[in-house]
Structure 1
Amino acid sequence: MTSIMDMVSVTPIFEKFAAVPIRDTTDLVPVGRFHTALQMQDVTFAYDPNSRPILQDFSLTVAKGQKYALIGPSGSGKSTVLNLLIGNLTDYQGTLRYDQTNYRHITPDSLINQVTYLDQTPFMFNDTLKNNLTMNEPYSDETIAAVIQRVGLTDLVASLPQGLATMVEKDGRNLSGGQKQRVVLARGLLQGRQIVFMDESTTSLDPASAQAIEEMIVTDPHLTVVMVTHHLRPTIAQQMDCVIDSAEFVPA
């Protein structure tokens, strides 16, 4: 009976999926490894065409290896910028480019596959820790070990009786918030993703864990980072290449 109720409850969700228009990708091209910059040029966007734009003639260049912070109050458009850069929002005016390729010419999946998106609720599979890291891809033990060390999970793995074979409980209940953030980052690194978008990702963590996660990411010279936050720690701000206030999204 429980299974039947679960199946009935998800039927409306599948009906919504079926109603989503399928985008014609025939003439689009996939993008590969990130080389130079993401660019927003004179971008204007509004969720409602009859309302005031949340971005107006806004330009931003996210250069490879640089670290950017978007600050400002909730609802001011910070997450909108991330969703534009990752390709989730397409009804905009202006130009977005990935390594000089216009977003209008890019297959959506290939763009998304270049980015690790960290939010407050990282998704964990009810599977082994290794499979949560590798997504069942056949990486070598040496590659996995190197990434585990890079994201600071070495002590966790060593402390587990079954190591990487330890089962992760539903919703990652046997992992801390910070550990889940590191697992998601490790997934991206194993897949070769060098762009990290952080959408208030450390808000629900304790101050020490939040500081540790942010330090790990912004001090990695190989990562290109865009961090959305309404509380930019002074020590993290000092390591940013650019801090952008959401007041700049719409000209006064």
Structure 2
Amino acid sequence: MLSLKTEERGLHVKNPFLKNSTNAIELKGVSFSYDGEKKILEEIDMHIPKGSKIAIIGASGSGKTTLAHLLVGLYPLTQGDILVDGISTREIGLDVVRDNVFLVLQNPQLFNASMAQNLMIDEKTDKELVKKALHIAQLDSFVNELPEGLNTQIGKHGIKLSGGQRQRLSIARMVLQNPNVVVLDESTSALDVHTEAKLFSELEAYLESKTTIIIAHRLSTIKKADYIYVLEKGKILESGTQEALMREEGAFFNYKLLS
């Protein structure tokens, strides 16, 4: 297993998440290496305004998922800084970042427990909120058909669920947690086009006021992004609105034609 520098929990000097429902994110000269030698990401600069929807696209191995992990505070930076409302995550603390920035993964981590336990709900959880989360994630019909409902055991790593059901369970968990910032990393890749369209229709309203970062290779998932970054080999190749990138006829233009 690759060794990483021991996590710097941070000073907990300031918490920009406390008095805000969502936040602006800025990356300044962010570089990252797992082994201290080969850089997976190099000199990444991004400005993500509060409440905006930005998309990050690129081929496999371009560094998209590593960037997602850095955004939610899973790894300390090798170089550069990530700021939330102008405050460095080093002052905030990576543990605080993880509590307020939710990452929905392509292959979500699930426990060998019930659906309810994986959603982190109990008898005190607002039942209407649970219903809302299941509806947004397009899981309500599926759960209603189960003899044991949310008490259904899903097995190790959610093996008793399909890939799409696991992804939708993770999305429902995100809605219940109600984070300030949401990072979607290929989070609907296992869904059929019809289910994905219905899910995004419901999710769009929920995410309307939240800063959202969408990492994808399917261009159908980034149609309404305010701004797009194209990654290649750990660097930003180009960035702009979808209209501007199409006019430039560069990497995004060619990527779109192939998709």
TM category, shorter: 0.7 to 0.9
Partner amino acid, structure 2, of 1:198: L
1:238 maps to: 223
Alpha-carbon shift at residue 142 of structure 1 (Å): 2.5
What amino acid is aligned across from residue 211 of structure 2 in structure 1? T
Tell me the alpha carbon deviations over residues 161-185 of structure 1, each in whole angstroms, 9 at most, x when there is no partner: 2222323233323322222222212
1:87-108 deviation per Cα after TM superposition (whole angstroms, max 9, x unaligned): 2332333332112221111121
| Pair 1:189-2:175 in alignment | yes
Listed as ranges, the matches of 1:64-103 within 5 Å are 64-103=50-89
How has the CA–CA distance of structure 1 residues 160 and 237 changed in structure 2, closer, same or farther, with 3 Å as cutoff? same
CA offsets per residue over residues 31-61 of structure 1, 9 Å max, x none?
53453301112x14141655567322x3212
TM-score (norm 2): 0.74
Q: Secondary structure at the match of 1:190?
A: helix
Query: Is residue 2:137 matched to residue 1:151?
Result: yes
Identity %: 27
Q: Residue 45 of structure 1 is aligned with which of 31, 39, 44?
A: 31
RMSD: 3.2
Q: 1:199 aligns with which of 185, 191, 207?
A: 185
Cα shift at 1:238: 2.5
Amino acid in the other structure paired with 1:167: Q
Counterparts of 1:185 and 1:224 in 2: how far apart (Å)?
Answer: 16
Higher mean alpha-carbon deviation, 237-246 vs 81-90, is at 81-90
The whole-number CA distance in structure 2 between the counterparts of 1:132 and 1:50 is 37
**What amino acid does structure 1 have at the position aligned with 2:57?**
I
- TM-aligned CA distance change 1:251 to 1:179, over 3 Å: closer
Match for residue 32 of structure 1? Answer: 17
Larger Rg: 1
Which amino acid in the other structure matches residue 245 of structure 1?
V
Structure 1 stretches of 4+ with a deviation exceeding 6 A read none
More divergent stretch after superposition (96-105 vs 149-158): 149-158
Q: Secondary structure at the match of 2:219?
A: coil
Q: Which secondary structure does the structure 1 equivalent of 2:119 belong to?
A: helix
CA distance, structure 2, for counterparts of residue 54 and residue 26 of structure 1: 25
How far apart, CA to CA, are the structure 1 residues paired with 2:94 and 2:176? 21
Change (3 A) 1:202 1:152: closer
Deviations 1:41-82 (A, max 9, x none): 2x14141655567322x3212223322211111222222322
Rounded to whole Å, the distance in 2 between the matches of 1:72 and 1:209 is 24
After TM superposition, the structure 1 stretch with the greater mean CA deviation from structure 2, 144-153 or 94-103, is 144-153
Equivalent position SS for 2:109: coil
Q: Which residue does the alignment assign to 1:6?
A: none
Pair 1:164-2:140 in alignment: no
Once residues 55 and 120 of structure 2 are traced to their aligned partners in structure 1, the CA distance between those partners, rounded to angstroms, is: 29
Distance 1:131 1:49, change over 3 A: closer
Point out where structure 2 has 5 or more consecutive residues left out of the alignment. Answer: 239-259
8 Å contact kept, 1:55–1:77: no
Aligned: 1:224 with 2:207: no
Q: Could you tell me how far 1:25 is from its partner in structure 2?
A: 4.5
